[in-house]
Amino acid sequence: MKFFVDTAEIDAIAELNELGIVDGVTTNPSLIKKSGRDILEVTKEICALVDGPVSAEVVATEADAMIAEGRKLATIADNIAIKLPLTWDGLKACKALSAEGHMINVTLCFSANQALLAAKAGASFISPFIGRLDDINLDGMQLIADIRQIYDNYGFETEILAASIRTVNHVSEAAKIGADVMTAPPEVIKKLAQHPLTDAGLAQFLKDAEAAGIKIV
């Protein structure tokens, strides 16, 4: 499973990148707002930092304007994935921009039928939002499973990018289903390393090492 970081915070991306676990980055207008940075500047810095796809989202809502924005975003770096919302106009822009050879991440996906359309329109990634479905008492993980089944049934190569991940369980459940990619905030990715039995076990080992006078270097 590829790990994307869902943030526009340079320091957080750099810290995770040191561990070699960052396969890409996703941003959206809310994350750009949170960073307080100019979208073109911060996206350029992120693209220089990571080798994999960096999703940058358009803000236009009409297809021709989305295409113009997408082309501009794509000039930032070779690893830009143009992020388009799952609307009819977004699908038209997806068709046009993917035909030009750009990577496209179709976002705000909340149904299997939307995911089917995005794949047929040439999306490189489909972003189903798990957490936001869970927020309204629907089953975000079931959507990941439904899309996996449909894409496998027909051999679609669009990668399933599990998004709106809020918990560590979201990550392992999406991995079990076979999502190709997950994108999560840095704090969720760091929590993947935590387990109370690891902490308790280490505390005991350190106590015994001290009692035994163990010194290695």
Q: What are the residues binding ligand G3P (CB under 6 A)?
A: 6, 26, 28, 127, 129, 131-132, 163-164, 166, 183
At 38 the three-state DSSP class reads: coil
Token pair recorded at residue 62:
């009409």
Catalytic residue of the set 2, 44, 83, 120? 83
Nearer to ligand G3P, 27 or 98 (CB): 27
Closest separation between CB of residue 182 and ligand G3P, Å? 10
Which is nearest to 168 in space by CA: 203, 132, 138, 195?
A: 195
Q: Is 55 helix (H, G, I), strand (E, B) or coil?
A: strand
For ligand G3P, give the closer residue by CB, 120 or 166: 166
How far apart are CB 81 and ligand G3P at their closest, in Å? Answer: 12
Q: Which is nearer to ligand G3P, 120 or 132 (CB)?
A: 132
The minimum distance between CB 27 and ligand G3P, in angstroms, equals 8
**128: Cβ contacts below 8 Å, ≥ 6 apart:** 109, 110, 115, 140, 143, 144, 147, 160, 161, 162, 163
Clarify whether 83 is annotated catalytic.
Answer: yes
d(CA 146, CA 172): 17
Of 96 and 133, the one with the shorter C-beta distance to ligand G3P is 133
**Rounded least distance, CB 55 to ligand G3P, Å:** 8
Distance CA 190, CA 212 (A): 32
Q: Which residues are catalytic?
A: 83
